[in-house]
Structure 1
């Protein structure tokens, strides 16, 4: 897990989300509501495909409008169980929740550090086979 995930606010613009991704060198951000609870995930691809390519305005469209992916795991979840969940949902990043708050994100890079090559190759095949 990559600890200390920073959220983009649900009312923040897509430009703000993109700037946060640039500054943190990440491709996805959790979206948190005014209640500090996870509302979804937004990716750099979402911004390009669902806003820019459609002629949308990155200053007017909010992160909440593109929120998706309420798939998450608990901080106590094992690497193996997190891997299964990511494979099932064909996702490459997953928020980690503890006491109803986001505490981090699991990404492919995190998995690459923890998994043997054979298991990592299997994960990549399963997640990308339907992409």
Structure 2
């Protein structure tokens, strides 16, 4: 299965100049815990998470008007829409991250994939296998 099958397309993004307060408001409004940080051409330059805001801003007593660039995680791991979900799951596990921006061939942000997206995929695949096995068992018992 490909990333494009499970990702959230066209995610809400912010710029490095966005304030931490604005980023937190975007997260609250969009019910998400991570925003890709993009430049004017939508190239990913980092990500900012609710944890980044908590640990790198609030806990350190920084002003909520601090630019996201000062608290974001730069060097974000990214994947492509045609990448295999198993490979992205491995990247998440190895890097201990829960969300990965999806970029096109030009490096522009086109989506976001989260562990929860992959978990739903695993449940669907498991359900399909159980269904197929059940169908095979019923067919065999009728023969």
TM-score (norm 2): 0.76
Residue 120 (structure 2) aligns with:
113
The answer on whether the counterparts of 2:16 and 2:39 sit within 8 Å (CA) in structure 1 is yes
- How far is 1:87 from its partner? 1.1
Q: Deviations over 1:55-98 (max 9, x none)?
A: 10011x11111221510101110111111111111110001111
Q: CA deviation at 1:116?
A: 4.3
CA–CA distance in 2 between the matches of 1:46 and 1:3?
23
1:55-74 pair list within 5 angstroms: 55-59=61-65, 61-68=66-73, 69-74=75-80
Comparing both structures, which one devotes a greater share of its residues to strand? 1
Q: Indicate the RMSD between aligned Cα atoms, in angstroms.
A: 1.6
Tell me how many residue pairs correspond in the alignment. Answer: 117
Distance in 2 between the 1:7 and 1:66 partners?
Answer: 15
Unaligned runs of 5+ in 2: 1-6, 127-143
- After TM superposition, which residue ranges in structure 1, 4 or more long, deviate above 3 angstroms? none
Taking structure 1 as the reference length, the TM-score comes to 0.83
Distance across 1 between alignment mates of 2:69 and 2:41: 13
